[in-house]
A and B are shown apart, each in its own frame.
Chain A
Amino acid sequence: MSSPTPASATPTTATATSVAGSPSRLAEDTAQGKTTISASVVQKIAGIAAREISGVHSMGGGVSRAFGAIRERIPGGGTGASNIAGVQVEVGEKQAAVDLDLVVEYGASIVDLARAVRRNVITAVERMTGLEVIEVNIAVNDIHLPEDDDEPPVAPAVTPAPSRVE
């Protein structure tokens, strides 16, 4: 638990993980019945927690799709995979893993930013779901420059395409 999680380039916040190390377990199978938390729940919470950090401009980017299917990192996590809007999660019975794709603001220290995002995501997911977050992998896909705001991105549907049918 206190050992660094694998596949993380920056130092992991082992303290955050171990402090909330024994949250009330959810998907436990007791005589009362079992509780299941869907992957989209973890995904939304992780996305909100990441965006809370100032310096995160937006989320998403094409790189994550190039990795293809999410690895089977968690026992029992086969069906709990989900992928939308720069947040990929895998949810097992007691654990969750999160992959984030970020676009950061120019001027932010990316290392500090990644550390803050990771800490906030771990805290939020562990507190809100009771699942242990085993890793948060962060990919910074792009940097957002202030002058990018001068020319708003061209919306694809600004000029309606001529109708192809009469």
Chain B
Amino acid sequence: MSGPGPETDALALAVAEVVVADPAVARLDGGVFGDVATHLAGRKLVGVRVDTDPARPVEVGVVLHLGTPIPVVVAGLRARVARVVGARPVDLTVSDVVPGPVDAMVEL
């Protein structure tokens, strides 16, 4: 298996961008072990992992704001991510929730 290339890095960045654009998302999260991450040149993008094998799912970890039912948020996130990754499966993990305003600042 070849290592991650520029295509997967770009895809991971694009996925991260659309995910944090959702107002219900507080931040991306790397999971219990922080292993859901993409190693970019100079930094680590936590919360998105794109396998080089297109048959493998794209992994996304998020922390959500409380307020909207999680299934609704998840459906919205899946729609957003599908616009970037197409028909590729997406494994979505809601690792935590935080109270607070849904319009709180989100940053990539």
A interface list, Cβ under 8 A from B: 23-24, 26, 31-38, 40-41, 44-45, 48, 127-130
Min CB distance B14 to A, Å, is: 17
Minimum C-beta distance from A50 to chain B (A): 15
* A35 near B92: Cβ-Cβ < 8 Å: yes
Contact of B70 among A33, A34, A48, A130 (CB under 8 A): A130
Say whether A23 contacts B97, CB under 8 Å.
Answer: no
Shortest B51–chain A CB gap in Å is: 12
Query: Contact between B74 and A35 (Cβ–Cβ < 8 Å)?
Result: yes
Q: Are B92 and A44 in contact (CB under 8 A)?
A: no
**Docked CA distance A29–B32 (Å):** 21
Interfacial chain B residues near A127, Cβ < 8 Å: 69
Cα distance, A41 to B61, chains bound together (Å): 13
> A26-B71, A32-B89, A33-B58 in contact; A41/B94 too (CB < 8 A)?
yes
Which residues of B48-64 are within 8 A (CB) of A?
Answer: 57-58, 64
Do A129 and B70 have beta carbons less than 8 Å apart? Answer: yes
Which chain B residues lie closer than 8 Å to A129 at the CB level? 69-71
The residues of A that contact B92 with a CB separation of less than 8 Å are 33-36
Please state if A130 and B71 are interface contacts (CB–CB under 8 Å).
yes
A34 touches B69 (CB 8 A): no
Task: Check A41 against B97 for contact (C-beta < 8 Å).
Answer: yes
Report yes or no: B95 in contact with A40, Cβ–Cβ below 8 A. Answer: yes
- Say how far B97's CB is from chain A's closest CB, in angstroms: 5
Q: List B contacts of A33 (CB < 8 A).
A: 57-58, 78, 89-92
Q: Does B93 contact A (CB under 8 A)?
A: yes
Whether B103 is near chain A, meaning CB under 8 Å from some CB there, is no
Chain B residues with CB under 8 A of A37: 70, 93-94
Interface centre among A26, A37, A129, A130 (most CB of B within 10 A): A37
* Contact A48 B99, CB 8 Å, known A32-B78, A128-B66: yes
Q: Given contacts A31-B89, A32-B78, is CB(A24)–CB(B71) below 8 Å? A: yes
B60 shortest CB reach to chain A, Å: 9
**B34 to nearest A CB, angstroms?**
14
